[in-house]
Structure 1
């Protein structure tokens, strides 16, 4: 069911059963598009203004969780906005008044927004309120106007990312939407005059909030040990067919496929970070089984061949950044699928739990499945298991659908950000070089619920942030399914 008009919008929420159906559809769409919205406007208590832009310091605070009573209405509102991106602004949650806010950016959008506000924020007969706790006042159901639509905000983000001529562009670290203030938040390492002047020449001052976070985002590379059948959270070394200098990454979640490539049937795969693959070349992966290897040694010595990433099997290319896969109209993060070639090799349905010096005596987690929905701000207790850091938990999701640019690298688009305060870190354990591609998960007892694939990290003064591709985004990028126990 697609919402094409005000009448269709009203009909879609006519009763509780139909609302559940629409929300189910919205969830499926959200899994593919992963629209990111900021639910609470960025604090501006200590703001300054330069070149027409509001400038604030990055805050060490997690966004409040969205109450269960508002989540379904928010997902449905996102579906409406995606169906009318030129007319509607990104929806957001007004927590003090307990409502989902939908704004129109055009006259048609205002009519759609007004209808959506009434339908999304009214009580469900016999099922409790959709969002507002009781009969809402008329004022709370008025749809406020918005200057920028979802499409225009995305166009601004695309322009910033494509602006190679932007002065001091290396200072730009991350871009995300702040739906509540109807603008983009540009996180920078330094708010230099050159950068701000260059932005001011291209964009209106009220369309961007400049957030200064004097930290650095790093991509991660490193090593570990594993044997066939391969498990996630293990070290792999990558190089091309000419034995060029290689690097180390971490395997993510085991993956099951049923495809034939060049006359060869392939049934097993392994997820990892897309930036672990070479651009436009076949990248071969070996699992390290020896501690005596040195850079430049033959890849087959002391290693077990795992498989390869073929051109087109990565959502990220190191020469251009994140790319849109053939089956998707949106960017799909930073993830690649290693096709485990049939030399007797296979994959398990496990990931490694904690760091160890070699194979054996390593606690394992059975992979139970994927989370039933995409990640959202406020999700807590996120874990990852990397070859260099081991198993680390306690991260809280702060934003989704973000774009970020590590220093000296291309743009990574449509990622999830989770953070953990430095006072809660174990032995300065932010993600380390070598953890790229790690499985990101939540624990259900001793079983792992798959959440995503680790891309990079940022170590700040107050916290550690990790960046990862949502598993629902991954599932839309490649054929096959998660290997589960």
Structure 2
């Protein structure tokens, strides 16, 4: 009985507002309007919206819907709202806001909270956990709006369990901050482009000078020259925000700093393009043969299970940078034994230079930054990758790592 009454009230409210808004919708105010009076109910000031919010919050609404053009505002009150409160609310709407209507919802606040939590728990279908879900209350339709990339075969069980209470809208979720669209303060593992040369590399890890406290981001020294500017690289190879200017190149460690922005003690660790996975930096990781390391590059992305094969490696690639004094280390592809044979692990690619090499235990322990790779037919018969140790870099820079707990 309550639901029927609620539906009637909602329909009546929508009909009433539609009647008052019809002229506005058919005759929008032109941007070039002269001094002719063209005011309409859809032209609502920010102050009126603020006044409306102050009023409705006293009645603990489940939600408020406002059309983009201001032609309709719906205020949904909980199902257990006393009728007198509903009438009182109607009388308190700000002057001039003739397009606002309130109604009693089919939900109490507890009902709504439980339903939202049920949707988010993703227990309503065996495959629900494999998909993303967003949920909100729609005050215009008095329903819970579920946004998901799950197919109909998965969401139908949810609709069956809550008829007339849930509306499912299929969509695609895209994260806003990840290695190809990072935000300041920047994280290691970010995709970067040298805007002076167009070459792509990867941000390594943030460090902080022990004397000045100035922060910078490491990358491979061969990625540019002193003074080159670097920007975030998007998935389409387009240029994003300024990340830093290359300074302090150490040719003998194939390392350099990017300075001029803010940097944080975190590295991107996602194994897919749009992954938002990241780990806080905890400490430096000593390198020794047999140590299993991960590497996070902007081309091959994140991959792990690489055994260190030499912890004192030097090389000169004739690129203007090199690693001497045994301050490098090598690590192989690794792989997995399967029933059909050996499946080699992933390997870094051009553009991964500078990326963090690390071990993990919930946080990241930095072993170094990626420098190069070479084909190793006599050893593993696979690609061997080369890193520059973090210890000698920090010593040369007079710096410490920026940790995840540093602010």
TM-score (ref. length: structure 1): 0.41
Question: Which of the two has greater strand per residue?
Answer: 2
Higher CA-based Rg: 2
TM-score (ref. length: structure 2): 0.48
